[in-house]
Structure formats: C-alpha cells, structure tokens
Structure 1
Amino acid sequence: MQSFHTAWIVFLVAGFYLLQVDAAETMQPKAPIQNFRIPRFAESGYTQWVLRGERGLYKNAEEVAVEGMELRIYSGDARKLVELSMVSPQAEILIEENRAFSEEPIHITGGNFTLNGVGWNWLGEEKSIRVQSRAQVVFAQGSGASLGPLAMIDGNSAERTKITSDELLLRTLEDGYYFEFMGNVSVVSGEGTLRSRTLIAEVDLASESAGVVQTSLETEGGDSMRYVLARDAVVVRTAERVIRTEQLESFPAENRSELSGLTEVSLPGALITGGRIEMGATQAIVHGQVTGGRAQMLLFRTGGLGLGGDSELSEETIVLADRITMVEDTKEYRFIFQGRVEVLSGALRQVSEKLTVYSRKVAGSATPEGSEEIGQVYQMLAEGAVVIERDGQEAQAESVRYHPLRESAELTGSPEFSDGESTLRGNRIDLAPGRVVVYGSEAEPVVVHLPEIADFGYTGPSRGMGSGDSDSGEVLSVVDAEEVTVESELEPTVVQSHEVIIYHGGDSQRIDFRENVIVTGTNLRVTSDKMEVYLDKEDGLDGGSGSLAGDVKRIIARENVEIVQAGRTATCQTAELLPRGGIVILTGQARVVDAEGTAEGHRITLNRGQRRARVEGSLEVGDGRARVTLPALDTEPKNAGD
C-alpha cells in the first residue's frame, strides 16, 4: 500500500503551487487537487487499478476524499484485462486498507453488464464491492443474458436481463464475476421473470481473442452465465408456465437446472408438483419428495379421461408417479409418468407401469381430435399391466390409449373386461361413455355367457299339420296341434361373435353381437350376422358362472338367421326370441321345417311347447302368400300284418 501513498505525495509535490506548507510539521497537502490520475501496480509490475478524480482532498495519511471518482480495476497480470470500471460522485478512499466507500450512487461497468446502486463499500484486497441499496444489474445480449434457467424455461434468449435487489455483493474472480443479490430479488429477461429472496450468479470473463489483449470494456461478445442459484420463495414466470420452488440451481453452459424443495410447475391445463426437478434444454424430470411423497400432476378438463362423458370431462384428473418426465417441442408437451403410476379421475381409477400424456402447446395446430385449445390433453397412453376400475367394472390390458376429446379408449395386448366377477376377452377392447366394444376374430371369437333361458322347442307326438296357401296374407296355422309340456334340463346360454358391444344405462342392458354370431343354449342353436340381446339391469356379471346378470328379456337375431332345435329348423332375416313368453317370431323370408312339413311366409310365430305355427303372408313381399307344405303321402300298399 506504500506505493499508493508515495505516488500521491509525489503528485502533490509536483503541484506545489496548490499546497500550503506548515513549517512546523512535515509537508502535508491541504488544498484540493483537480483532475488527477493515480495508478496502483502489483509486485509483478502490472497495473492493478487506476484512480481518476475531478477533485481530490488529502485528509490525512490514511484517507483521501475524491469527487467525480472513476476507478478502473485491472486483472493485474499479463492479460491486462479491464475487469471493472466504477464511477461515483463522491468516495472516501482508505489508502492503507486499500478500501473505498460512499453513501452516494455508484455505476459499474464490466464485460457485458452494468451495475447501479446507492451506497457502496469496495475492498481492494478481496476484489469485491458491496452495494447497500437499490442494486440493479443489466446483462446485455451475448452474456447468457436470459439467465440460464429462464432461457430453458422460456425457450428464448432475451436481448438483455435486468436483476434488481435490496443489496448486492460483487466479487471479481480470476476468471469471472460473482454476484450475490439479497432481499426482494427480481429478474426480468424477455417475457420471463424470476423472484426470490437470494440469488447468486457466476459469470465468465470475456476471453482474449487471437492473442489480442482486451484493454477496453467496449468489446464484442462478452461474458456468459456459468452458474445461477436462487433460494427462498423462488417464483419463475414465463409466457407459458409458472414455477414455485424453494431452490433453483442452474448450470447454463450444460443446459441443465435443478429445482429442489417442494416444487410446483403450472402449465396451461396442468399443475405438476414434486420434491426435485431436473430441467434440461428440452425436457424436465420431476421426482417425488425425499420423505416418500410422490410426483403428482393435476390435469384440468380431463375428468373420467373422457369415459364419463361431458358431465365429467370438465373435472380434474390426478396422476401420481415416482417420476414425471416433461418433453416439449414446437407444437406439444409430452408428460411421461413412470413407477407405480396411479390415475384418479372422476369415478375412474387406473394403475399402470407407465403413462404418457399429450397436451397441445400451440393453438390452431391440428391433431386427430381437432382440438384448438392450448393446454388441452388430447391423448393419453398407459402401458404395462394397466388396470382400469369404474362403477364396479374393471378392464385390464398391456396398453390403453385414451382420447379424452373423442370420449373413447382403446385397450390392446390381451385386453379383458369384467362387469363383476366374469371376464370378456378379445384382441381389442374399446371403451366409451355407456359402451364397451370387444373385438375378436374368426380364430378367437368373443365369448359371452348369458343367463340360462328355458327351452323354446317342443317334444311329444305329432297330431298332423294343416296345408295350403293364402293369397291374401291371412294366417295359416297347424291344425288341431297338441300342446306339449317342455321339461328339458336348462343349459348355459353362450354367444360368440367377432365383435361384441355392451351398452349400459337406464333400467336395462343391451348387448350387440356382430359377424358370425353363434348362440347355443337349452335345445337351441342360432346363427346370424348380427344379434341384439336385452337384459334386465342388475349389478355386474353373475358371479363365477361368467353370465351377465339379469334375466334375458329379448333376443333379436338379424340377417341370415338360422335356428336349430330338436325336431325343427327355422330360417329368416330377423328372429325375435322372447324367453319370458316362450315365443319366437320369424320375419323376412321366414321358413320352418320339421318332420311334418314346411311352413313359409313373411312372418311365422312359434310358441314354446307347441307344434303349432302361426304363418302370415304379406302382400308387400314376394307373391304375398303364406304356405305350408306337407311330406308326400305314402301310397305303397300296406301288408296285412302292418
């Protein structure tokens, strides 16, 4: 420090006409000097700093008062870099302590940033300055100006970043700057903002280029953020999201940040919470809390995942997992849930090993569902041991793809559907509000067990069948037929087809069968292209028997219908079976064949336990005639003993 003192005395002696000398004491400068410049050199001979002033007053051997101060801080080595330039209206310089301070404003320039504040204290040996109030730092373009995490969160690099705080500590490092903002920290960068109580930032020094030593602050390029740490009540806001966390640590050069403590991320249509978030340039990974809490996401306008209809879709969905990965591109977000995934959505609960949620990021970009709303979830894919529970029903599959906007879901990979204790299996199962569709194949048809139904046929001796035809569409009936009591042992009613549709709602349940429909039951075999079965509504499937609960009210077989019973066969285009009344109604090219003959007409009605058939013609179909054809008479003479 003696070098500064000596330089000051030499300078003052050279300006002797400005001095007043007290002969009784050592010569001391008592009058101010104007427009001075004093350098300080390191032991290596390189410049450490240069002090300029508009007016200086030598108070004593320890203190100098300077007005219009400008202090340039150099690297003090062969690089000869200007690290900082400090300007203040007034300063007190303590020579021996290599320290300066003031209650006045200060303006500091360094690399690609500027700093302003009020009240300051500079420590030359520590190469630091503390701003006491109203600190403000502006980082210009090219300095990592979007402050690392804001760049990754917002996706855009701002031309400048402004940081304000109550207090600030700035320290010059060998290879950069250390900033510590304290109290009411506010960061504004492009459209993004950050708030916290404390923020630490480390900035790299501008480097030399092609061997040219930097000697001026007005250089191209500049510094870049290498580390950012925000602590206590951290809130980050961008155009698309809001993040609240206890601590945010960022490494911009590595394109990564880490948020720790209870953390919350709010996005259009979603809210994510977790204990720790690892954030990269294009994705973020959300972990559960150390205490055992799980990562959680709240999805808006997805109630029931679309399977509960419009009334539930406006509600929220909660998704829990050990880990959530958020990936984004220019058009959409993808949220990937892994590890004990659990979904709670209206009356629906789902568990799986993995779940991927697709959400709209840009309005107007087309999706198969046609959504136009930012943040709208338009697709979800659950994978690995998927189980769905809702209203006493359960579905299982290896993969389930939900389409909330279309109110549907597709189950693949050994899918199963249970309505109680029994199970339907197929190659694919589709779920929709009030509807389940099970798809099979010719090799593996869908099999459904219905409640047992009584025998529709007849047994016992014949009394003969009338014959003839009618041109008027009138009824032709079996003549004097005997009514026979049917006492067949009840057998399970089983239906199989390539496709099964189960409808729920109201007081009844309806099941549609399509393609290669085959029904077997008590003295009954029916084949057709399509079939509808109506049951009284009861809860679930009939316990371990695999039968749908509730009595069968009506069965309607359509297209290429054939009914085979003991003693007779019937064909038609539509057949209606009414188990409670024991009635079978055949329409559309109806034909009944038994050992006594053939009945044909537009409509034929059969009754349980009777050989009687009510045959009706129709003037609007064919020739309008109903016909009964008897077997040919046996005209061979009988032996006397016969």
Structure 2
Amino acid sequence: MKSDFIFLHMFLHLFVVSVLEAQPELTTAIRDFAIPQFDQEGRPLSMLRGKELRHLPNDEATVLEMDLRTFAVDRPGTTDLRLRSSSSRFFLKKSEAASDQPIHLVGPDYEITGKGWSWKGKDRQVLIHDDVKANFKATLTDFLASGCDSENKDVPLRPLPKEKGQTRIFSDKLELLTTDKDHRFLFVGNVQIVGHNLSVTCDRLEVISSRSPEEEGEAGAFGSIANIFATGRVRIEQRQRSAVAGKATIDVAAGTIALEEAPVVFDDQGKAEGHKIILHRGQRRAEVHSKPGETRAEVTLPPIGDLGVFGKDIEKRKKETPGSDSPIEEPSPRP
C-alpha cells in the first residue's frame, strides 16, 4: 500500500508540474480539477477533487473545497472514506494534508465532524484536533441487547437498523486509522457516548471495527465491531443502574462487559464491587472476581439482571419506578 501512495505522490507531482510549467507564474490556479489514483492493476484507489489548486514552493499546494475519496480495494468502486474541507494544504512529497478548518468524514457506517485536522496518506491516518462529533448508524444497545447467549459465540452479525444516528460519540480529539482489515477509532478527552437510554463517559475510548462483506445492502456494517475499550474514569449510566471503573472492555463476540480497576456496580438496592466484574449480555448474572490472593469480594445486592442493556428485568422495573421513562439528555452544544 505504501507503494500506492508513492505512486500517488508522483502522479500529483507530475500532474501539477506539467500543468503549471505552461503558466507564466507558479501561483496560477488550476480550477475545478479531478485527480484520480490507481493501483498497478488499474483499480481506483482515490479521487481528489477541488474548486481550486494552487501550487506553492517546496512541492506544496493549497486546495479549496477539497473532496478526497478513498476506495475499498476489495470492493472496487465502493467509497471507503470521504474527507471534505473548505481549504487545505497538501504536502506532495509526503502525501499529507492539513488544515485548521472544519472537516467532514463519511465512512461506511458513520459520519464524523471536527475542527482542525491532518491526513497522512502513507499511514492511512486522520487526526482531528478539536470538537469531535461522531454519529454511527446503529444503536449502541443493539449489540448489547438481550437475546444472545454468551455461551454461543457463533451468533450471526445483526443487520443495521432502519433508524440512523442513534449512537453519538463526543470527544476533544480523534485518531482514525484505516487498514485492509479494520477501522480503528481513538477518541481522547472528555469522551461521552450517547445511545438509546444510555450514557457512557470516560477519558479515552478505542473502537475497533472489523471490515466485513456487504450485509443487506450496507457495506462494513456497525455490527462488525469487534471490541470497545474505555479507560479513565469510566461511568456507565442507564435508567436506575450505574457502573464505575477505571477500565471497561466490551467483547462483542462473547457478549460481555469486563469492568476493571476498582469496579463498582450499584443501584437503589445496593452495590457489588471487586477486583473485576464481568457482566453477561442476555443473562441474569454477573461474575464478581476478588483480587488474586484474596478469598472474597463484596456483594451487597441481588444478582444483577440488567445494566440497562442486559436482560429484560428493566422493563418491569421502569414501570414500578416513577419517572423512569425519562430519556437521557444529550450534552449541550459546545460553545
């Protein structure tokens, strides 16, 4: 893949230089341009479009109304990632771009916006520096909901629901890495996840989404997420039950949430705490593990039937609790 980006740099360089050599000044702009990139077999890899490209010294160029598309090699013609920004500076030798302007990313199952960004083509990396808002098509509770036995690890991936934009992630910064096998999202700083009647806050959140074949017309379905790692002051809130920990790991295939680093699960009836707590999707049980070398963990509540996303007891509980139908509020817009 690195050779592809070297080819892209050579193509961009030759294209820009060949056009500008015929111009009286290097600052003459190329308007309404389109620059494709292909691999050695002639398959499309990317397409860079813009309203204006203006060459600068040191193999740099400014692009107005940038629209950069990258294509999935294993699905020819399918857009894998689209980046749009009002203005950007390209570094042709490095196959990189950067801007302090807003950016809009569109992937197979998500949209992300933010302000201030950089793109490294050789590393297939996008960094967003401020005010990150990610919007996923599927609900977070969809792959945590009951109906999947944790002992059965051959459960087929669920299709995307018809509703869109039901899982939102907010953070200060984002790093996105794309490979032939997966997309990796690292949200950093004041992270908040808002799902259906669910709120999760933490300092860092890593999401690993494995690429999958098209499912029911949707490429790279959100159900292909393999793991979610939340670290730093993790707090999970859903209806009348909450959990806090220093670290939380969601294993989608196993259907579990593992809480570590001083985890506590509590509700109006009591709490459970130990060295490690494992919650099982679709089962009325939680494993409370003591610290190695110790013989017991503290449990002061009945067996956990639900963390709001496990089991069906919450439907009965919410009918008995006034005001339990109130939805979780989204964070107010940032100034």
Aligned to 1:252: 252
Structural mapping, 1:368-379, within 5 Å: none
| Residue-by-residue CA offset, 1:264-317 (whole Å, 9 max, x unaligned) | 111231211111112221232121233527322235xxxxxxxxxxxxxxxxxx
| Residue-by-residue CA offset, 1:338-364 (whole Å, 9 max, x unaligned) | xxxxxxxxxxxxxxxxxxxxxx73545
Report how far residue 118 of structure 1 moved. 0.8
Report if the CA contact (8 A) 1:148-1:251 is conserved: no
| Residue-by-residue CA offset, 1:220-254 (whole Å, 9 max, x unaligned) | 78333221000011001011311100110112233
Report how far residue 61 of structure 1 moved. 4.9
Q: Measure the CA separation in 2 of the matches of 1:2 and 1:362.
A: 62
Which one of the candidate residues 317, 323, 328 is aligned to 1:361?
317
How much is the aligned-residue C-alpha RMSD, in angstroms?
3.0
Report if the CA contact (8 A) 2:114-2:132 is conserved: yes
Aligned to 1:20: 24
Q: What's the TM-score once normalised by structure 1's chain length?
A: 0.42
Report if the CA contact (8 A) 2:108-2:219 is conserved: no
Bigger radius of gyration among the two: 1
Query: 3-state SS of the aligned residue for 1:117?
Result: strand
Query: 3-state SS of the aligned residue for 1:86?
Result: strand
Aligned to 1:326: 304
Q: What's the TM-score once normalised by structure 2's chain length?
A: 0.78
1:72 matched to 2:69: yes
Please list every run of 5 or more consecutive structure 2 residues that lacks an aligned counterpart in the other structure: 1-8, 147-160, 324-335
Question: Using a 3 Å threshold, how does the CA distance of structure 1 residues 3 and 76 change in structure 2: closer, same or farther?
Answer: farther
Q: Measure the CA separation in 2 of the matches of 1:126 and 1:220.
A: 23
Q: Measure the CA separation in 2 of the matches of 1:147 and 1:125.
A: 35
Q: Measure the CA separation in 1 of the matches of 2:293 and 2:29.
A: 67
Aligned to 1:189: 195
Report how far residue 85 of structure 1 moved. 0.3
Question: Using a 3 Å threshold, how does the CA distance of structure 1 residues 52 and 184 change in structure 2: closer, same or farther?
Answer: same
Query: 3-state SS of the aligned residue for 1:254?
Result: coil
Report how far residue 7 of structure 1 moved. 2.5
Structural mapping, 1:104-123, within 5 Å: 104-123=101-120
Query: 3-state SS of the aligned residue for 2:229?
Result: strand
Aligned to 1:272: 272
Query: 3-state SS of the aligned residue for 1:262?
Result: coil
Report if the CA contact (8 A) 2:212-2:219 is conserved: no
Question: Using a 3 Å threshold, how does the CA distance of structure 1 residues 107 and 81 change in structure 2: closer, same or farther?
Answer: same
Structural mapping, 1:435-474, within 5 Å: none
Question: Using a 3 Å threshold, how does the CA distance of structure 1 residues 287 and 293 change in structure 2: closer, same or farther?
Answer: same
Aligned to 1:4: 12
Percent of aligned pairs with the same amino acid: 22
Report if the CA contact (8 A) 1:119-1:133 is conserved: yes
Aligned to 1:133: 130
Question: Using a 3 Å threshold, how does the CA distance of structure 1 residues 64 and 125 change in structure 2: closer, same or farther?
Answer: same
1:282 matched to 2:282: yes
Query: 3-state SS of the aligned residue for 2:105?
Result: strand
Report how far residue 8 of structure 1 moved. 2.6
**Greater CA deviation, 121-130 or 285-294?**
285-294
Query: 3-state SS of the aligned residue for 1:101?
Result: strand
- One-letter amino acid of the counterpart of residue 271, structure 2: L
Report how far residue 80 of structure 1 moved. 4.1
Aligned to 1:392: none
Report if the CA contact (8 A) 1:48-1:73 is conserved: yes
1:207 matched to 2:213: yes
Q: How many residues align?
A: 293
- One-letter amino acid of the counterpart of residue 254, structure 1: A
1:37 matched to 2:43: no
Q: Measure the CA separation in 1 of the matches of 2:91 and 2:322.
A: 64
Q: Measure the CA separation in 1 of the matches of 2:89 and 2:295.
A: 56
Report how far residue 332 of structure 1 moved. 7.6
1:222 matched to 2:249: no
| Residue-by-residue CA offset, 1:94-118 (whole Å, 9 max, x unaligned) | 1110111111110000011000111
Q: Measure the CA separation in 2 of the matches of 1:47 and 1:332.
A: 50
| Residue-by-residue CA offset, 1:576-603 (whole Å, 9 max, x unaligned) | xxxxxxxxxxxxxxxxxxxxxxxxxxxx
Query: 3-state SS of the aligned residue for 1:3?
Result: helix
| Residue-by-residue CA offset, 1:333-391 (whole Å, 9 max, x unaligned) | 9xxxxxxxxxxxxxxxxxxxxxxxxxx73545xxxxxxx999xxxxxxxxxxxxxxxxx
- One-letter amino acid of the counterpart of residue 292, structure 1: E
Query: 3-state SS of the aligned residue for 1:8?
Result: helix
Higher relative contact order (CA 8 A, sep 6+): 2
Question: Using a 3 Å threshold, how does the CA distance of structure 1 residues 56 and 274 change in structure 2: closer, same or farther?
Answer: same
- One-letter amino acid of the counterpart of residue 16, structure 2: W
- One-letter amino acid of the counterpart of residue 237, structure 1: E
Structural mapping, 1:581-596, within 5 Å: none
Report how far residue 260 of structure 1 moved. 1.1
- One-letter amino acid of the counterpart of residue 289, structure 1: K
Aligned to 2:294: 292
Query: 3-state SS of the aligned residue for 2:262?
Result: strand
Q: Measure the CA separation in 1 of the matches of 2:177 and 2:303.
A: 37
